[in-house]
């Protein structure tokens, strides 16, 4: 922090659809852009590119993936081709672990160690995490997120298991099930938390959003044809198996998503994939001091933005999922808008019809919001997490510990920390924060918007001490340990 940081005009954090769109738009307008991403390849989770290793010439068609995924990869590759722009520097495998809002400095840690980057405008496009709900056995090997299983397929062409159970709520379940089927995996069942009645009552809301409706219908049809049971009003209640999953107990749930005793059934599966929607990754903007807003459609906190997607901290923009769950269309539109607004503030003239884009973006947001209302989050499901079930995995805090703290008067996530150490481990509450706020909501009758998320703390993800201090730790230095010593002499 004393050495002079590297300078750029615009820094974009996250190379998913939103980040790539923002970087490309700003660079085409003439601004110098640095695009940062934690993973080795651009594309984000949605346009995840396969890990071909050194052989980048291999075409997407050769990739052993089902057509739905190959199609996705091809689309992503087309988008990423735009990154080949002289004004864009893409810094992969680089974690942004801190932001100093006054100076607009980002602290980076990547292949070249610790670095600092000072940008005149900063665009957050960090995407979202999957939301999980705990139940007995959810920490066993064999339980994973739907997105995690998809990633394995997209990036490595690997199957997560032989016989899968998909559980949760939302349209991703069907979409992923189709991909898994095409990849040659067996899908035992899909469990949707919402009841059939509610779903059918809500379905007309999609009137007019033909593409969404069409997509859903096509997936449904495909699954029906394969004879996969799609169970409304069900949830997975327990992961069975000694050391790893070899089966799942499923249960019917009522309108509040509370499990109905006596409705237990057992399925033989080797993998349980979960998805209860998404939570925006907003740690970095919150460290920068950006105000949050509660996204009631997806029951999560997101960053508040104006129509230029600028946050209340001037010079900082939030796009895509960071500003509320929106999906890929919203991300692409908002990326363009933020890239245009940021470059315009720096005196460039982006060649983009912003008014038309804004209109399109609002429509897209509305459509996604409709989807959100169809798959509401219900805290009754926390009943599945009996007192002995761990909810904070890093610090090994059980649901019972959390409930006891609530009984003693805790009403906020931050207040849980001194009692239970929950949220103080490696994940910093990214996984457990959402779960515990639901437990608080269920136990106290509060609504989720009253329960603030854990305070975002620097570093937002664990980072080596030497990256923070800038002083490399060589340990007890000996010549034998010195890499390349032998080669140098011969």
For residue 463, the minimal CB distance to other proteins (Å) is 6
Stretch that binds other proteins, among 161-169, 252-260, 376-384, 462-470 (CB under 8 A): 462-470
For residue 280, the minimal CB distance to other proteins (Å) is 20
The residues in 248-307 that bind other proteins, with binding defined as CB under 8 A, are 287
Q: Does 441 bind other proteins (CB under 8 A)?
A: no
Q: Which of 105, 128, 167, 274 binds other proteins (CB under 8 A)?
A: 105
- What backbone phi and psi angles, to 5 degrees, belong to 188? -70, -40
Q: Which of 40, 229, 462, 486 binds other proteins (CB under 8 A)?
A: 462
| Residues contacting 13, CB < 8 A, separation 6+ | 19, 36, 96, 106, 122, 123, 124, 125, 126, 284
| Closer to other proteins by Cβ: residue 87 or 286 | 286
C-alpha–C-alpha distance, residues 85 and 30, integer Å: 10
Q: Which of 347, 426, 481, 486 binds other proteins (CB under 8 A)?
A: 426
Q: Which of 196, 293, 469, 485 binds other proteins (CB under 8 A)?
A: 469
Q: Does 457 bind other proteins (CB under 8 A)?
A: yes
Q: Which of 198, 421, 446, 449 binds other proteins (CB under 8 A)?
A: 421
- What backbone phi and psi angles, to 5 degrees, belong to 114? -85, 135
Alpha-carbon dihedral sign for residues 335, 339, 342, 345: negative
| Closer to other proteins by Cβ: residue 48 or 403 | 403
Q: Are 186 and 227 in contact (CB under 8 A)?
A: no
| Residues contacting 413, CB < 8 A, separation 6+ | 423, 429, 433, 436, 437, 440, 451, 452, 453, 454
Site size with other proteins, rule: CB under 8 A: 40
Q: Does 424 bind other proteins (CB under 8 A)?
A: yes
Q: Does 449 bind other proteins (CB under 8 A)?
A: no
C-alpha–C-alpha distance, residues 346 and 358, integer Å: 20
* Encoded tokens for 327: 């999906």
For residue 348, the minimal CB distance to other proteins (Å) is 30
Short-list 293, 288, 336, CA closest to 315: 288
For residue 469, the minimal CB distance to other proteins (Å) is 4
The residues in 364-403 that bind other proteins, with binding defined as CB under 8 A, are 395
C-alpha–C-alpha distance, residues 305 and 416, integer Å: 30
Q: Does 465 bind other proteins (CB under 8 A)?
A: yes
Residue 412, classed as helix, strand or coil, is coil
Residues that bind other proteins (CB under 8 A): 1-2, 98, 100, 105, 107, 287, 395, 408-412, 414-415, 417-419, 421, 424-426, 428, 455, 457-459, 462-466, 468-473, 475-476
């Amino acid at each position: 922090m004393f050495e002079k940081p590297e300078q750029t005009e615009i820094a974009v954090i996250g190379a998913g659809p939103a980040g790539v769109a923002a970087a490309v738009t700003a660079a085409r307008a003439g601004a110098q852009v640095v695009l940062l991403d934690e993973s080795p390849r651009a594309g984000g989770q949605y346009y995840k590119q396969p890990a071909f290793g050194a052989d980048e010439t291999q075409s997407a068609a050769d990739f052993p993936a089902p057509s739905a995924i190959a199609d996705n990869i091809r689309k992503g590759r087309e988008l990423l081709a735009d990154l080949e722009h002289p004004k864009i520097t893409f810094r992969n495998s680089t974690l942004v672990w801190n932001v100093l809002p006054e100076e607009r400095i980002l602290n980076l840690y990547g292949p070249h160690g610790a670095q600092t980057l000072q940008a005149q405008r900063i665009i957050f496009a960090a995407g979202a995490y999957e939301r999980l709900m705990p139940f007995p056995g959810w920490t066993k090997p064999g339980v994973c997120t739907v997105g995690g299983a998809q990633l394995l397929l997209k990036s490595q062409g690997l199957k997560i298991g032989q016989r899968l159970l998909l559980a949760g709520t939302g349209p991703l379940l069907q979409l992923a099930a189709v991909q898994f089927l095409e990849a040659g995996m067996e899908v035992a069942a899909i469990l949707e938390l919402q009841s059939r009645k509610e779903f059918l009552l809500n379905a007309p809301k999609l009137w007019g959003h033909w593409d969404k409706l069409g997509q859903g219908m096509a997936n449904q049809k495909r699954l029906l044809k394969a004879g996969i049971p799609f169970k409304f009003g069900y949830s997975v209640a327990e992961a069975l198996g000694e050391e790893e999953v070899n089966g799942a107990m499923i249960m019917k749930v009522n309108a509040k998503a509370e499990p109905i005793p006596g409705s237990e059934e057992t399925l033989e599966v080797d993998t349980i994939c979960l998805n209860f929607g998404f939570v925006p990754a907003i740690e970095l903007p919150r460290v920068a001091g950006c105000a949050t807003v509660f996204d009631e459609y997806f029951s999560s906190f997101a960053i508040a933005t104006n129509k230029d997607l600028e946050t209340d901290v001037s010079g900082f923009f939030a796009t895509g999922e960071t500003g509320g769950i929106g999906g890929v269309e919203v991300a692409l539109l908002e990326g363009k808008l933020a890239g245009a607004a940021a470059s315009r503030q720096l005196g460039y003239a982006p060649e983009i019809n912003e008014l038309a884009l804004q209109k399109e973006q609002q429509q897209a947001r509305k459509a996604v919001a409709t989807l959100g209302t169809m798959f509401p989050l219900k805290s009754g499901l926390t009943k599945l997490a009996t007192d002995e079930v761990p909810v904070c995995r890093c610090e090994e805090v059980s649901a019972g510990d959390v409930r006891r703290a609530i009984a003693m008067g805790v009403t906020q996530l931050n207040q849980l920390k001194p009692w239970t150490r929950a949220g103080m481990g490696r994940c910093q509450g990214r996984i457990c924060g959402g779960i515990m706020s639901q437990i608080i909501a269920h136990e106290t009758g509060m609504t989720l918007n009253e329960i603030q998320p854990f305070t975002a703390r620097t570093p937002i993800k664990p980072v080596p001490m030497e990256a923070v201090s800038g002083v490399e730790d060589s340990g007890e230095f000996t010549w034998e340990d010195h890499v390349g010593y032998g080669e140098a002499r011969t």
